[in-house]
Chain A
Amino acid sequence: MRKKNKEVQKIWSSPDFHGPVLKVEDLRLSFRVPVGAICAVDGISFELASGRSLAVLGESGSGKTSLGRAILRLLPRNVLTYTGKVFLEGVDIMKLSDGRFRQQVRWVKISMVTQAAMNSLNPVLKVGQQVAEPLLIHEQMEKDEAYERAREVFRTVGVPLDFLNRYAFELSGGMRQRVIIAMALITKPALIILDEPTSALDVLTQANIMNALKRIKQELNANFMLITHDIATSSELADEVACMYAGQLVEHGSAARFYHEPLHPYSQKLMASVPALHTEKRPDFIPGQPPSLLNPPKGCRFADRCHKRFDRCHEEPPLFNCSGELVKCWLYENG
């Protein structure tokens, strides 16, 4: 029992690691379908510094969930290719065997709140037991200790302690979502991936949960990767924003800049489509549709719908560095 815990220590040997929490290099994930292959994550690279939270934005089908799943190696059966490097606190976790990954990474070092997870709680287990489970299974912790930790995280996410003994069906949607977040926090992971954590909830419940996440971020210095298409809500948590289009990263930069001055023409259009309640701005829409991931176009994937397209766009642009902000568009070739 104890031995396994030591192994965890060994993989991440230096406790005061100073590099980025997460570093992804040329990550690719494609699925086999009857008519060919769908490349949902198409050569994505980025870094996330310690103590920062990243929002991953993009239209439905752009590959946001697939990116989260690729990082956590939660793969469906029909995977065709799965390559690249994922460094977690300096260790390339893509190299680990499935067994080691399951024991030492998933839920221990990285946890994920999956899309619509609140409907996936076990109906016959008390929620307290479900929240404590990762500790009992992955860290072989004593029961009392695990339950003490469960009480601690319930307090953190704002669920009354007597709910530990309730069943999922006895909780409202908002409370269930908090329980799921508690479960993701309990092992004190280095990275917490949240996939659309509030999209199914009411405005007020949503605001309550965002408050709880903000508090967790401040108090525990947690690193969140928030996957969502709700751009306004993402601004509640993000220090950085990554914007995806058709399986690729088209922009990655600071939130302070992104929300008021997006660089990529797609990000600009996406931001313009967000209705703002408190200003007079009229939202605009993006004409056309994103390309099929079965046979994506050769050059820039957004070119067909782009209002700033020019000759160069027949070729695929790299991610240009524009004073620290990364953008995959020929307009920024010279910074």
Chain B
Amino acid sequence: MPGELLLSAKDLKTWFELKRWGFLSAGFVRAVDGISFDLKPSESITIVGESGSGKTSLLRTILGLAQITGGEITFDGKIFDAREVKDLAWMRAHVGFVQQDPYGALPPFMDIRKILSEPLLINKVPKEEHEKRIRDAMEEVRLIPVDDFLPKYPHMLSGGQQQRLVIARAIILRPKLIVADEPVSMLDASVRVEILELLSNIQKSHNMSIIYITHDLSSVRYFSERVFIMYAGKIVEKANTRELVQNPLHPYAQVLLNAIPDPDHENAKKFKEVPPGEPPSLVNPPSGCRFHPRCPHAIEGLCNTQEPPEFEPAPHHSVECWLYK
């Protein structure tokens, strides 16, 4: 039924072609390779995955910034076609984007007032509303006193303040969805929590949905209800956050959770159990399950030959792994 889901992705694929000598095809980087998920209005999800697993590519596909290779995106009841200019404009107006790198995200020669007016101008918000919208957004991200900050340029702000400005810009059009790509990975731990709480509060008070991307699993549980674990272009596990932390099913999720230390002197006394090897190439991913070469539980003759489908061993907890067939 339309209206029940805000965003639905079906079997999304985003492959980047590699060129040799500028024209010969040298294969594809399968950055997103068959991903499906649903997002309800005002729901927040986190996508966790290692560097290069395709998180940013997934977001860019949803926003129409990367060309889709296959699959379908439905946003707010309508199929989204990134080739249509009007679809793109509609997506941009309803989705706020917080980029991976706050330092590169802000134009250095604009002051804060200019930076925040821009999306209002582009989306033809009536002029007389601008001042109030800008002030509201700045108060919301606590760039206060507003009058002190309005004439400042990005380089005059600390990393945390810059990131708040990026968030203010993302929410100024009151989007239905915010996508935040590693919004805090460049910041100090002491500032990270502040920014995450800020995002979370804005999401709740405006009933927005949020897709939050990170490689830092330890910050997830304070923030969102559901977590997706991404590995080599695929989502291998979907679960409620608490459930995932307590009872990870996919062997990759298990080693990931195990590898993350809490600060404790006991850590210095023992060695970690870590699977050998490195994340696989996305050009020639391993056959069968992509994690099988590193997996301690791989079943010979199955995991190395057949791709596992999605199983749902517990309600709202699904996993792409043959151990749960």
Contacts and interface: CB of A to CB of B under 8 A. Distances in A.
B218 A236 contact: no
A69 to B, nearest CB: 20
Interface in A255-292: 255-256, 258-260, 269-271, 273-279, 282-287, 289
A203 B272 contact: no
Interface residues of A, number: 51
Interface residues of B, number: 40
Given A203-B215, A259-B263, A275 B222 contact: yes
A260 B261 CA distance: 14
Interface string A43-58: 0000000000000000
A14 B9 CA distance: 70
Contacts of B260: 203, 232, 277
Contacts of A60: 159, 187-188
B123 interface: no
B268 interface: yes
A206 B262 contact: no
Nearest to B49: A202
Contact of B272 (A59, A210, A238, A285): A210
A234 B261 CA distance: 9
Given A60-B159, A204-B259, A259-B264, A276 B272 contact: no
Interface in B156-192: 158-160, 187-192
Contacts, number: 121
Nearest to A171: B278
A229 B185 CA distance: 12
Interface in B179-229: 187-194, 197, 215-219, 221-222
A8 interface: no
Residue in A202, A229, A238 with the greatest tally of chain B CB atoms within 10 Å: A202
A204 B189 contact: no
A206 B274 CA distance: 10
A235 B189 CA distance: 15
A97 interface: no
Given A172-B278, A270-B189, A273-B190, A232 B215 contact: no
A205 B272 CA distance: 11
B193 A275 contact: yes
B193 A273 contact: yes
A232 B278 contact: no
Contacts of A235: 261, 263-265, 267-268
Contact of A282 (B159, B222, B278): B222
A256 B265 contact: yes
Contacts of A289: 158, 160
B274 A238 contact: no
A20 interface: no
A221 B33 CA distance: 46
Contact of A284 (B159, B193, B261, B272): B193
Interface of B: 50-51, 158-160, 187-194, 197, 215-219, 221-222, 245, 255-257, 259-265, 267-268, 271-272, 274-275, 278-279
17 contacts: A59-B188, A232-B260, A232-B261, A235-B263, A235-B268, A236-B268, A238-B265, A260-B264, A260-B265, A269-B190, A273-B193, A274-B189, A275-B216, A275-B218, A277-B245, A285-B194, A285-B197
Given A229-B189, A273-B192, A283-B222, 14 more contacts: A173-B51, A202-B50, A231-B189, A232-B218, A232-B262, A235-B264, A235-B268, A238-B265, A273-B189, A275-B193, A275-B218, A277-B262, A286-B190, A286-B191
